[in-house]
Chains A and B, each alone.
Chain A
Amino acid sequence: MKILIIGATSAIAKASARLYAARKAQLFLIARNEELLIELKEDLMIRGAHSVAYYVLDLSNQKNHGEALEQARQSLEEIDIALLCHGSLPDQETCENDYNRAKEEINVNGLSIISLCTELSKVFKAQQSGVLAAITSVAGDRGRQPNFIYGAAKSMVSTYLQGLRGKLLAHKVHVIDIKPGLVDSPMTSKFDKGLLWSTPELVANRIVRGIDRKNHTVYVPGYWRIIMATVCLIPEFIFKRLKI
């Protein structure tokens, strides 16, 4: 099993990579912190990975996406699964008042994924096989006051993946949208955690299961599908007054 993980040092990515390592997968990792990549590589080898290689890249710079993916393709020869995990949770207030900050966040959470998917689609089409999975968020399901910049970027990716799924169907390539709810990871270290929070390990478990089963959209945990469906049912004249 040959797996490419992008944003590999994120908590959710790490937990997913460990599950694949236990299955003796061949892994290729892309992330921006080399020290962490070196450590993760050793960790995954000890946990059973067949082989691990990596490429250091700040993903906000689209120019190098092609080069990074070419390295991945050469290293793995064929890519069975590509899992896109990087993301950043910006401060909403700052982004609302500073377009440049908003643009940067939309770039990392949205455009950078679309750039990677563009390149990956070429690889997968050539292979006539593969699974492309990207982590978006329940935040993309409806624009809410506390995080609609992040939400807008995530929903851009979700919409893009829906279309891409159809396009790649004929090429035997499967596309999965993973929508976690609230995850207790470094991204959310400043939040008070309650009942609705899950661990990166649980999310990873569901990602791997979703990929195994070739699901289309995976809400993690599953109850977020119901929560978000409910949130989407709230009439706009009420919703616009809610600060949730």
Chain B
Amino acid sequence: MQLHGWGRFPGVTAELLEPPTRESIQKLFGTKKKHGPMIARGAGRSYGDSSLADTVLSSRFLDSFLEFNATTGIIKCGAGVSMGALLTVIIPEGFFAPVLPGTKFVSIGGAIAADIHGKNHHTDGSFCDHVRSFSLLLSSGEIIQCSRDENRDAFLATCGGMGLTGIIINATISLHKVSSVFIKRNSIVAKDLDDCMDLIDQNEDSKHSFAWLDCLARGKSLGRSILHLADHCADGPQQPKSRVSLSVPFGTPRFFLNRLSNKLFNNAIYEMWKHRKNPSIVNYDSYFFPLDNIRNWNRLYGSKGFLQYQFVMPSSSAREGIREILKIVSESSTGSFISVLKKFGNANQNLLSFPTAGYTLALDFKNEPSVFPLLSKLDEVLLAHGGRLYLAKDSRMSEDVFKAAYPNWERFVEIKKTLDPSNTFVSHQSMRLGLTQ
């Protein structure tokens, strides 16, 4: 069948396996192995080809909760459980996910494999920092327990390892206790990039922080943005209200998102926020998942899909580097029109995890031929400033750029060889990046 990631590019023909139980997944491996190289797939919310291969193994039926201690806030669940389902179960008990991405439709397995970050990376680190342990099915058919103490190498390689070490079957996660699921949000308008970064630096105490950046602004207002700071309310109801959701039923014509519509949109947003009162109290889902109630918004980019370019640059070079990148993008005819800027805290020890101390920027590009040379140009600027790209968003980075930016790749390959000597776990991405043959 045809499969693609969230960016709808690239699309591939693949055999999709959806074993209904853990046992039936295990039977696919070891001596009875019938299938060739394959990769795990959770909710398919990575943008590019991370969860694409000739054979794709879905975790969709590993969707059970296994243990929940509502006193300690430790939960064990199958890798196919979605972040949304997790929230539904834990919120009534006064807990919250330690790290949330920009959509609740990711799976726990995908969250571990990409070691996802949230708007609180500067305060709480990334998702795997809250993962106590998980069980990993190896290509031998054996299931091993991994934690910081047990099979440590496998733990460090699997967290952020994009499914290349094995199939995560279930995981045990430490939750955060929260006073309320309502969020007190302060939204501050920044007139340019320096202003925005200063404001981010000055507000590091806020638990959650990110900025919407207008990529079409040029010259003096290059990098004008709205910084959204947030903390949980001190008290208040634990139950969120449900929201109405809309859906984009099919791919819109490619001209739907064009420069003029984007410019009008950005100006409108900017004006709107300028006049908003602070602070405002909002449901957690409208702060964390602003796009989730427009189902399939990825179809807005047309049938050829889109690419996301998310990078991080160390604090020392970020101001200069990001300015350069924004300049190139705003002058190109193929601009991203909105992007998200946020500050990361320190890196963890996982071998391929994306976050490192510095600033991260995510830019969306409609898939058109001119985008590829543009992004290669951005890669050069990125490397020159000591930055790297996020694997969960990548669909086109070259092997050289990857290896230059992820110095631990060799150690990762060594560990992968011991865990997966038959080289069973292979994605289109891992082949492109030279992580597997």
Pick from B23, B61, B75, B88: contact of A22, CB under 8 Å: B88
- Verify B88–A42 contact, CB threshold 8 A: no
Say yes or no: B65 contacts A43, CB within 8 Å: yes
Shortest beta-carbon distance from B165 to chain A in Å:
25
Q: With both chains docked as a complex, state the minimum distance between the C-beta of B13 and any C-beta of chain A, in angstroms.
A: 11
Please state if B89 and A42 are interface contacts (CB–CB under 8 Å): no
In this assembly, does B288 line the interface, its C-beta being within 8 Å of a C-beta of chain A? Answer: no
State how many angstroms separate the Cβ of A197 from the closest Cβ of chain B.
Answer: 12
B68 touches A46 (CB 8 A): yes
Bound complex: CA A193 to CA B21 (Å): 20
Q: Which residue of A lies closest to B2 (CB)?
A: A192
Pick the contact of B67: A22, A36, A42 (CB < 8 A): A42
**Does B272 sit within 8 A of A, measured CB to CB?**
no
Residues on B with beta carbons closer than 8 Å to the beta carbon of A236: none
Bound-state CA distance A40–B66 (Å) is: 9
* Interface bits A179-194 vs B (CB < 8 Å: 1, else 0): 0000000100100110
Nearest chain B CB to A48's CB is how many angstroms away? 8
A73 interface hit (Cβ, 8 Å):
no
Least CB distance from A89 to B in Å reads 13
- Contact residues, B10-55 vs A (CB, 8 A): 18, 20-21, 23
Which one of A22, A43, A48, A186 lies within 8 Å of B20 (CB-CB)? A186
Tell me, in angstroms, the Cα distance from A117 to B75 when the chains sit together: 39
CB of A50 within 8 A of chain B? no
> Tally of A-B residue pairs with Cβ under 8 A?
33
Which B residues touch A46, using CB under 8 A?
65-68, 75, 89
Q: Restricting to B67-125, which residues have a CB under 8 Å from any CB of A? A: 67-68, 75, 88-89, 92
Whether the Cβ atoms of A42 and B1 lie closer than 8 Å is no
A40 to B62, CA, bound (A): 11
Q: How far is the CA of A186 from the CA of B88 in the complex (A)?
A: 25
- Having A39-B66, A186-B20, one finds 11 other A-B pairs with CB under 8 Å, namely A11-B20, A40-B64, A42-B64, A46-B66, A46-B67, A46-B75, A47-B88, A47-B89, A186-B61, A189-B18, A192-B1
* Distance, CA A186 to CA B18, complexed state (A): 7
B23 contacts across to A, CB distance below 8 A: 35
* A192 CB contacts on chain B under 8 angstroms: 1
A–B pairs, 21, beta carbons within 8 Å? A11-B20, A11-B61, A22-B88, A36-B21, A39-B64, A39-B66, A42-B66, A42-B67, A43-B64, A43-B65, A43-B66, A46-B67, A46-B68, A46-B75, A46-B89, A47-B88, A48-B89, A186-B20, A189-B20, A192-B1, A193-B1
Least Cβ distance of B3 to chain A in Å? 11
Chain A nearest CB, measured from B55 CB (Å)? 14
CA distance A193 to B60 in the complex (A): 15
- Greatest chain B CB density within 10 A among A39, A192, A193 is at A39
Please report whether the interface of chain A is mostly helix, strand, loop or mixed according to DSSP: helix
Cα distance A192–B61 when bound, in Å? Answer: 18
- Which residues of the other chain, B, contact A189 by a CB distance below 8 angstroms? 18, 20
| Chain A nearest CB, measured from B24 CB (Å) | 9
In the bound complex, CA of A35 to CA of B21 (Å) = 10
Chain A residues with Cβ below 8 Å from B88 are: 22, 47
Q: How large is the interface on A (under 10, 10 to 19, 20 to 34, 35 or more residues)?
A: 10 to 19
In the assembled complex, which residues on chain B have CB atoms less than 8 Å from the CB atom of A36?
A: 21
Q: Would you give the shortest CB distance from A205 to chain B, in whole angstroms?
A: 13
Contacts of A35 in B (CB 8 A): 23
Cross-interface CB contact of A42 among B20, B65, B92, cutoff 8 Å: B65
A residues in contact with B89, CB < 8 Å? 46-48
Q: Return the CB mask of A156-184 against B: 1 if under 8 Å, else 0.
A: 00000000000000000000000000000
- A186: chain B residues at CB < 8 Å are 18, 20, 61
User: Do A47 and B65 touch (CB < 8 A)?
Assistant: yes
Bits for A190-204, please: 1 = Cβ < 8 Å to B, else 0: 001100000000000
In chain A between 180 and 233, which residues have their CB closer than 8 angstroms to a CB of chain B?
A: 186, 189, 192-193
Most chain B CB inside 10 Å of its own CB: which residue of A22, A35, A43, A193: A43
* Mask of B228-239 contacts with A, CB within 8 angstroms, 1/0: 000000000000
Give bound CA distance, A36 to B20, whole Å: 10
Residue numbers in A under 8 Å from B66 (CB-CB): 39, 42-43, 46
CB-defined contacts of B20 to chain A, threshold 8 Å: 11, 186, 189
Q: In the bound complex, what is the Cα–Cα distance between A46 and B20 (angstroms)?
A: 20
Residue of A nearest to B250 (CB): A195
> Could you tell me which residues of chain B, from 326 to 354, have a CB within 8 Å of some CB in chain A?
none
A11 neighbours in B (Cβ, 8 Å):
20, 61
Q: Which 9 A-B pairs have the closest CB atoms?
A: A186-B20, A46-B65, A43-B64, A46-B68, A43-B65, A39-B64, A189-B18, A192-B1, A47-B89
Q: How far is the CB of B68 from chain A (nearest CB, A)?
A: 5
Shortest A151–chain B CB gap in Å is: 24
Chain B residues within an 8 Å CB radius of A42: 64-67
- Expressed in whole angstroms, the Cα–Cα distance for A35 and B67 within the complex equals 15
- Give min CB distance, A46 to chain B, whole Å: 4
On chain A, the residues within 8 Å of B75 by CB distance are 46
Closest chain-B Cβ to A223's Cβ sits at a distance in Å of 14
CB distance from A131 to the nearest CB of B (A): 25
Residues of B close to A40: CB separation below 8 A: 64
Query: CA–CA, A36 to B61, complex, Å?
Result: 12
Looking across the interface, which residue of chain B has its beta carbon closest to that of A199? B60
Q: Mark A19-44, 1 if CB is under 8 A from B, else 0.
A: 00010000000000001100110110
Cβ distance B48 to chain A, nearest Cβ, rounded Å: 23
Q: How far is the CA of A226 from the CA of B294 in the complex (A)?
A: 28
CA distance A112 to B96 in the complex (A): 44
